[in-house]
Each structure stands twice: as structure tokens, then as C-alpha cells.
């Protein structure tokens, strides 16, 4: 996915799962502070548990920096989320932003509520 570019494959995926939106999120490197791999892995496990307890289905992924400055971050593509749930994830897991995707497959950057 690329921010601002419709993605037909993502739209099809959402449709197959009968959901109208999704959020791509990680628990790595809270607010951009680089952590040790083991600490990031523990945080990611907490995110996975949180999403499962919420009763949502998530697909594993990786956030890849196109400029290559950041290493790939393990992420989740959480299906059937709302913007409010995305905000809650950013607050709980200390993320500056997430990628929110609508039913048309349009990914947009959703900033942490404090930055809006």
C-alpha cells in the first residue's frame, strides 16, 4: 500500500472479509524512539493480544520505510476497525500515526489525536 493511492487488492480483501475499513499498525518504537528488538517484539505481542481480545481479525505485515532509514517493523493489518479504534491503538501503543484504509482501498495517514 502507498498513502493516497487506491489499492484494488486491499479493497477486494476488505470486501472478502465483509468489512468497510482496516488499520495498519505496529507497536514498535513508541513515538519514534528506537527500542531493542526484544522490547519491540514484546510490545508487538501485547498489540496482537489486544486486537484478539477486541475480537478483531488481523493479518501480519511489515511497515517498510521506502527511504530505507528505518528497519522494517512488524505490523498488523486489523480488519473491521473504526477511526476511534485506531485512535485508541495509537494512544495505547504510543504511535505517532497509523495507516487507515477505507472500503475503496484508499490508505491515508491518520495522525495521533494529539497531533491533529
Per residue in 58-113, pLDDT (tens digit) is 999 998 888 888 788 999 999 999 999 999 999 999 999 999 999 999 999 999 99
Q: Do strands 73-79 and 97-102 pair parallel, antiparallel, or not at all (unpaired)?
A: unpaired
Q: In the beta sheet, which residues pair with residue 111? A: 97
CA angle 86, 73, 54 (to 5 degrees): 35
How far is the first Cα of the chain from the last one, in angstroms, to the nearest whole number?
Answer: 23
Residue 25 and residue 114 in contact, taking contact as beta carbons nearer than 8 Å: no
Average pLDDT in the chain: 96
Mean pLDDT of 4-31: 97
Query: What pLDDT score does 66 carry?
Result: 83
Query: What pLDDT score does 26 carry?
Result: 98
Amino acid at each position: 500500500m502507498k498513502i493516497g493511492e487506491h489499492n484494488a487488492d486491499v479493497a477486494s480483501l476488505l470486501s472478502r472479509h465483509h468489512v468497510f475499513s482496516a488499520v495498519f499498525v505496529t507497536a514498535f518504537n513508541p513515538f519514534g524512539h528506537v527500542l531493542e528488538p526484544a522490547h519491540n517484539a514484546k510490545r508487538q505481542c501485547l498489540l496482537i493480544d489486544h486486537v484478539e481480545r477486541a475480537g478483531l481479525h488481523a493479518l501480519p505485515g511489515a511497515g517498510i520505510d521506502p527511504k530505507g532509514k528505518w528497519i522494517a517493523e512488524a505490523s498488523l493489518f486489523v480488519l473491521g476497525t473504526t477511526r476511534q479504534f485506531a485512535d485508541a491503538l495509537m494512544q495505547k501503543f504510543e504511535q505517532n500515526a497509523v495507516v487507515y484504509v477505507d472500503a475503496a482501498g484508499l490508505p491515508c495517514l491518520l495522525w495521533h489525536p494529539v497531533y491533529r
